[in-house]
Amino acid sequence: MEQSNSKLFSLLETAVMGPLGKVAQFKIVRAIMAAGMASIPFTIVGSMFLVINVLPQTFTFLEDFFNNTFFRVSDLYMLANSTTMGLLALYFCIVLGYEYTKIYAEEEELDLAPMSGALLSMFAFFMSIPQLMIVDGSMSRITDQENAIINGWAIGGDGVERLGTTGIFTGIIMAVLAVQLYRLCVTKKWVIKMPEEVPLGVARAFTALIPAFVVAFTVLIINGALVAAGTDIFQIIAVPFGFVTNLTNSWLGLMVIYFLVSALWLVGIHGANIIFSVLTPITLGNLTANAEGANFALAGEFNNAYVTVGGSGATLGLALFLVYLAKSKQLRVLGKASIIPALFNINEPLIFGIPLIYNPFLAIPFFLAPMASASIAYFAIELEIIRPMIAQMPWPSPIGIGAFIGSGGDWKAAVCAFLCAGVAFLIYFPFARSYDAGLVKQEAQEGEQAV
């Protein structure tokens, strides 16, 4: 048995931890993770104002009150939503440019200014937004009143359409391109060097001058070639990233995601941080789409609201077992220490205390519980039993609260969250009881030896 378990963990290390561990160390992946984390506070704030607007849809008795109070100034307070969720691509692009430049500056000891990297990224992104076409042999910006395209700029409900979630992936590509061109210029010394007496801010401005020209010419050439081919970078990028998004929004894709998260954790790597940080552009894009009437399950804090209730592995039920049902002294002590953090989806005390990592006795429920919870929530949303997530909630929101508020006040979503946690508990129960019994015997033997 021990040999087979050893082979299992060895396989996970080779097939999962090795490749994904290397991917997590890529500079671009770390920069995207940082950009996703930086955008979360703004999406939470923006989402809260959206929740105010949709509450009367659930609590219809509030309609008259809202019509005479909040809705009179909704165009004012909803600016907080439209300038966060409606500008997500811009947030991503700027932060990614900053973080990506900073990583190169620190790790390759290059004279790169993160702020210049951020501005060059934004510069490249904005140049790619207007839509053009060839008319009578000349390139012209598109104006299409019927589709709300004015002089090349497509206008949506929250302003320029391509600055919203539809532009996140283009923003990422443009940021990577701009930073790499900036790095190339500095590495090759294609920069204007100012005397040491010149203030640092002024010197950096001139250092970014030639890179700005290089970025401009490169993006214009790319845009021109694509327009000549009858398309643009947004349409090109939509094909592969649209495929990835559709894949992650399927039940099978969801199962693969949670298998990878659990597999990484079991061999000692923070699976949730790696997988969901990379998926943040998709979950935020789906969140905005849901607010506009779509029905995507993997949106916002779907993960912490329904799946990993109590922390990675869906361990809230396990923590409750340790507190109220465990007979082993060490598990009871660990349960008392871990129950409060578990209520806020923090379970490092369990992950490293039981421990759950490299633990063959609890590996099966650690895999199965999140996959079962995800399946329940996925099909509840897919079958429109509960509303999808439309608002971003802080990930430590206690069970039921994140689902209730995140879904715009759907009480059935809160019930679903408790159902998910209950099923996870039932999956853990026989394994936890068996593991507890083994520890009780071990403690008894150690007590006898001590005597």
Q: What is the dihedral of CA 164, 168, 170, 176, to 10 degrees?
A: 140
For 420-433, how does the pLDDT look when each residue is reduced to its tens digit (9 = 90+)?
A: 999 999 999 999 99
Task: State how far the Cα of 126 lies from the Cα of 104, in Å rounded to an integer.
Answer: 23
Q: Band the pLDDT of 135: cuts 50, 70, 90.
A: confident
Minimum mean pLDDT among 10-14, 105-109, 315-319, 350-354: which range? 10-14
Task: State how far the Cα of 93 lies from the Cα of 281, in Å rounded to an integer.
Answer: 11
Degrees to nearest 5, angle at CA 114 with 191 and 204: 35
Q: What are phi and psi of 299, to 5 degrees?
A: -145, 145
For residues 142 and 132, is the Cβ–Cβ distance under 8 A?
yes
Task: State how far the Cα of 267 lies from the Cα of 261, in Å rounded to an integer.
Answer: 10
For 33-50, how does the pLDDT look when each residue is reduced to its tens digit (9 = 90+)?
A: 888 888 888 999 999 999
Q: Look at residue 2 and tell me whether its pLDDT is greater than 70.
A: no
Q: Is the bond into 355 cis (omega within 30 degrees of 0)? A: yes
pTM: 0.86
Cα 145–chain centre separation? 35
Task: State how far the Cα of 353 lies from the Cα of 267, in Å rounded to an integer.
Answer: 15
Please state the rounded mean pLDDT for residues 430-438. Answer: 93
Minimum mean pLDDT among 111-120, 202-211, 411-420: which range? 202-211
Alpha-carbon distances, residue 110 vs 29, 202, 219, 308 (angstroms): 20, 18, 24, 41
The residue whose two tokens read 């679903």 is 416
